[in-house]
Amino acid sequence: MDLNVILIAVVAVFVLVVIGRLSRRPNSKPNKSTTTTEYLYQSRNTLVTKSELAFYRALTVSVKNRHLIFSKVRIADVLSPKKGEYDKSNWRRAFNQIACKHYDFVLCDPETLDIHMVIELDDSSHERSDRKKRDVFVDAATASAGITFKRFKVQNCYDYFELENELYGMTPVETTKSGRVLELQS
Protein backbone atom coordinates (compact mmCIF):
# COMPACT_ATOMS: atom_id res chain seq x y z
CA MET A 1 0.00 0.00 0.00
CA ASP A 2 2.86 2.44 0.74
CA LEU A 3 4.24 1.79 -2.74
CA ASN A 4 0.89 2.76 -4.28
CA VAL A 5 0.81 6.06 -2.36
CA ILE A 6 4.36 6.90 -3.48
CA LEU A 7 3.54 6.00 -7.09
CA ILE A 8 0.40 8.16 -7.05
CA ALA A 9 2.37 11.08 -5.56
CA VAL A 10 5.09 10.81 -8.23
CA VAL A 11 2.50 10.68 -11.02
CA ALA A 12 0.63 13.65 -9.52
CA VAL A 13 3.82 15.75 -9.38
CA PHE A 14 4.67 14.77 -12.96
CA VAL A 15 1.17 15.75 -14.16
CA LEU A 16 1.38 19.11 -12.35
CA VAL A 17 4.76 19.88 -13.93
CA VAL A 18 3.46 19.00 -17.42
CA ILE A 19 0.30 21.08 -16.93
CA GLY A 20 2.38 24.00 -15.65
CA ARG A 21 4.64 23.94 -18.71
CA LEU A 22 1.75 23.59 -21.15
CA SER A 23 -0.31 26.35 -19.55
CA ARG A 24 2.52 28.87 -19.69
CA ARG A 25 1.90 31.58 -22.25
CA PRO A 26 4.33 31.42 -25.18
CA ASN A 27 5.69 34.95 -24.55
CA SER A 28 6.02 34.62 -20.81
CA LYS A 29 9.45 34.23 -19.35
CA PRO A 30 10.25 31.67 -16.69
CA ASN A 31 10.58 32.94 -13.15
CA LYS A 32 14.07 34.22 -12.51
CA SER A 33 16.06 33.38 -9.46
CA THR A 34 16.96 36.25 -7.17
CA THR A 35 20.52 36.72 -8.42
CA THR A 36 21.02 40.29 -9.59
CA THR A 37 22.68 39.25 -12.83
CA GLU A 38 19.35 37.97 -14.07
CA TYR A 39 17.39 41.18 -13.43
CA LEU A 40 16.89 43.65 -16.25
CA TYR A 41 17.74 47.31 -15.80
CA GLN A 42 17.44 50.49 -17.79
CA SER A 43 19.42 53.70 -17.79
CA ARG A 44 17.99 56.74 -16.06
CA ASN A 45 19.90 58.74 -18.71
CA THR A 46 20.76 61.57 -16.33
CA LEU A 47 22.28 61.67 -12.87
CA VAL A 48 20.34 64.69 -11.63
CA THR A 49 16.87 66.21 -11.87
CA LYS A 50 16.23 69.38 -13.88
CA SER A 51 16.20 71.42 -10.66
CA GLU A 52 19.49 69.90 -9.54
CA LEU A 53 21.03 70.57 -12.96
CA ALA A 54 20.00 74.24 -12.83
CA PHE A 55 21.53 74.56 -9.37
CA TYR A 56 24.66 72.68 -10.47
CA ARG A 57 25.18 75.14 -13.32
CA ALA A 58 24.87 78.10 -10.96
CA LEU A 59 27.13 76.34 -8.46
CA THR A 60 29.89 75.82 -11.04
CA VAL A 61 29.89 79.56 -11.81
CA SER A 62 29.89 80.51 -8.12
CA VAL A 63 32.51 77.98 -7.02
CA LYS A 64 34.81 78.80 -9.94
CA ASN A 65 37.93 76.64 -9.58
CA ARG A 66 38.09 76.74 -5.79
CA HIS A 67 36.48 73.32 -5.33
CA LEU A 68 35.40 70.27 -7.30
CA ILE A 69 31.68 69.58 -7.25
CA PHE A 70 30.43 66.03 -6.78
CA SER A 71 26.77 65.17 -7.12
CA LYS A 72 24.60 62.55 -5.39
CA VAL A 73 27.26 61.44 -2.93
CA ARG A 74 26.23 58.73 -0.49
CA ILE A 75 26.30 60.10 3.06
CA ALA A 76 28.12 56.95 4.20
CA ASP A 77 30.97 57.96 1.88
CA VAL A 78 31.27 61.28 3.73
CA LEU A 79 30.40 60.24 7.30
CA SER A 80 30.92 57.12 9.36
CA PRO A 81 29.89 56.23 12.91
CA LYS A 82 32.45 57.62 15.33
CA LYS A 83 35.23 55.18 16.18
CA GLY A 84 35.27 53.82 19.70
CA GLU A 85 31.72 54.96 20.47
CA TYR A 86 29.77 51.82 19.57
CA ASP A 87 29.87 48.08 19.86
CA LYS A 88 29.62 46.17 16.57
CA SER A 89 25.82 45.93 16.64
CA ASN A 90 25.24 49.62 17.40
CA TRP A 91 27.90 50.65 14.88
CA ARG A 92 25.93 48.74 12.21
CA ARG A 93 22.69 50.44 13.32
CA ALA A 94 24.32 53.87 13.10
CA PHE A 95 25.81 53.03 9.70
CA ASN A 96 22.45 51.80 8.38
CA GLN A 97 20.96 55.20 9.27
CA ILE A 98 23.19 56.85 6.66
CA ALA A 99 23.86 54.04 4.18
CA CYS A 100 20.95 54.72 1.81
CA LYS A 101 20.89 58.50 2.00
CA HIS A 102 22.86 60.93 -0.14
CA TYR A 103 23.89 64.57 -0.25
CA ASP A 104 22.90 66.47 -3.38
CA PHE A 105 26.34 68.06 -3.75
CA VAL A 106 29.73 67.83 -2.05
CA LEU A 107 32.46 70.42 -2.57
CA CYS A 108 36.01 69.08 -2.29
CA ASP A 109 39.50 70.52 -2.42
CA PRO A 110 40.71 70.08 -6.03
CA GLU A 111 44.17 68.88 -4.94
CA THR A 112 43.41 66.55 -2.04
CA LEU A 113 39.67 65.85 -2.46
CA ASP A 114 39.24 66.73 1.21
CA ILE A 115 35.61 67.56 1.93
CA HIS A 116 34.99 71.29 2.21
CA MET A 117 31.21 71.44 2.40
CA VAL A 118 28.05 69.48 1.70
CA ILE A 119 24.95 70.96 0.07
CA GLU A 120 21.30 69.95 0.03
CA LEU A 121 18.86 71.40 -2.47
CA ASP A 122 15.39 71.59 -0.92
CA ASP A 123 12.38 71.28 -3.20
CA SER A 124 8.72 70.99 -2.18
CA SER A 125 9.23 67.36 -1.12
CA HIS A 126 11.13 68.66 1.90
CA GLU A 127 7.82 69.98 3.29
CA ARG A 128 6.56 66.41 3.86
CA SER A 129 6.79 65.19 7.46
CA ASP A 130 8.94 62.17 6.54
CA ARG A 131 11.40 64.41 4.70
CA LYS A 132 11.48 66.91 7.56
CA LYS A 133 12.39 64.08 9.92
CA ARG A 134 15.11 62.91 7.50
CA ASP A 135 16.44 66.47 7.16
CA VAL A 136 16.68 66.91 10.94
CA PHE A 137 18.63 63.65 11.16
CA VAL A 138 20.98 64.54 8.26
CA ASP A 139 21.57 68.04 9.67
CA ALA A 140 22.47 66.62 13.10
CA ALA A 141 24.65 63.82 11.72
CA THR A 142 26.58 66.24 9.51
CA ALA A 143 27.00 68.77 12.34
CA SER A 144 28.27 66.03 14.68
CA ALA A 145 31.03 65.28 12.16
CA GLY A 146 32.01 68.96 12.01
CA ILE A 147 31.33 69.34 8.28
CA THR A 148 29.99 72.60 6.89
CA PHE A 149 26.46 72.05 5.62
CA LYS A 150 24.39 74.43 3.50
CA ARG A 151 20.77 74.13 2.38
CA PHE A 152 19.36 76.00 -0.59
CA LYS A 153 15.76 76.25 -1.78
CA VAL A 154 15.02 75.30 -5.37
CA GLN A 155 14.57 78.44 -7.47
CA ASN A 156 13.77 79.18 -11.09
CA CYS A 157 16.89 81.31 -11.34
CA TYR A 158 19.97 81.66 -9.15
CA ASP A 159 22.02 84.79 -8.53
CA TYR A 160 25.64 83.67 -8.90
CA PHE A 161 26.94 86.41 -6.61
CA GLU A 162 24.43 85.63 -3.85
CA LEU A 163 25.27 81.95 -4.12
CA GLU A 164 29.00 82.69 -3.96
CA ASN A 165 28.47 84.93 -0.94
CA GLU A 166 26.41 82.23 0.78
CA LEU A 167 29.11 79.63 0.10
CA TYR A 168 32.22 81.67 0.81
CA GLY A 169 31.11 84.80 2.66
CA MET A 170 32.42 87.01 -0.13
CA THR A 171 32.13 90.79 -0.21
CA PRO A 172 28.75 91.74 -1.67
CA VAL A 173 28.92 92.84 -5.28
CA GLU A 174 26.71 94.85 -7.58
CA THR A 175 26.39 94.68 -11.36
CA THR A 176 26.12 97.97 -13.22
CA LYS A 177 23.91 98.50 -16.29
CA SER A 178 26.97 97.94 -18.45
CA GLY A 179 27.41 94.50 -16.87
CA ARG A 180 30.53 95.46 -14.95
CA VAL A 181 30.80 94.15 -11.41
CA LEU A 182 31.52 96.60 -8.62
CA GLU A 183 32.41 95.66 -5.06
CA LEU A 184 30.23 97.33 -2.48
CA GLN A 185 32.09 98.95 0.36
CA SER A 186 31.00 97.75 3.80
pLDDT in tens, 51-107: 999 999 999 999 999 999 999 999 999 999 999 999 999 999 999 999 999 999 999
Across the range 37-54, mean pLDDT stands at: 92
pLDDT at 150: 97
User: Does residue 19 form part of some domain?
Assistant: yes
Angle, nearest 10°, between helix axes 129-144 and 88-99? 120
Query: What's residue 176's pLDDT?
Result: 45
- CA–CA dist 118, 104 (Å, integer): 8
**Beta-strand (E) ranges in the chain?**
68-74, 102-108, 115-122, 148-153, 173-175, 181-183
Instruction: Judge whether residue 171 has pLDDT over 70.
Output: no
pLDDT: which is higher, 11 or 134: 134
Q: Which CATH number covers residue 78?
A: 3.40.1350
Higher pLDDT: 13 or 71? It is 71
Asked if 164 and 174 touch (Cβ cutoff 8 Å), the reply is no
The answer to the question of residue 171 being in a domain is yes
Residues 6+ apart with CB under 8 A from 164: 62, 63, 170
Q: Are residues 120 and 149 in contact, defined by beta-carbon separation less than 8 angstroms?
A: yes
Looking at residue 178, its pLDDT comes to 46
The answer to whether residue 43 sits within a structural domain is no
Q: Are residues 66 and 124 in the same domain?
A: yes
44 within some domain: no
Taking Cα atoms as reference points, which of 58, 60, 111, 101 lies closest to residue 79? 101
118 vs 20, which has greater pLDDT? 118
For 125-162, write each residue's pLDDT tens digit: 878 888 899 999 999 999 999 999 999 999 999 999 99
Do 107 and 179 fall within a single domain?
Answer: yes
Judged against a pLDDT cut of 80, whether residue 33 lies above it is answered with no
Does 45 reside within a domain?
no
pLDDT of residue 14: 73
> What's the domain count of the chain?
2
**Domain membership of residue 93 as a residue range:** 50-183
In this structure, the answer to whether residues 67 and 22 fall within a common structural domain is no
pTM of the entire structure? 0.70
Taking the C-alpha atoms of residue 182 and residue 44, their distance in angstroms, rounded to an integer, is: 43
Contact between 75 and 138 under an 8 Å Cβ cutoff? The reply is: yes
What's the N-to-C CA distance of the chain in angstroms?
103
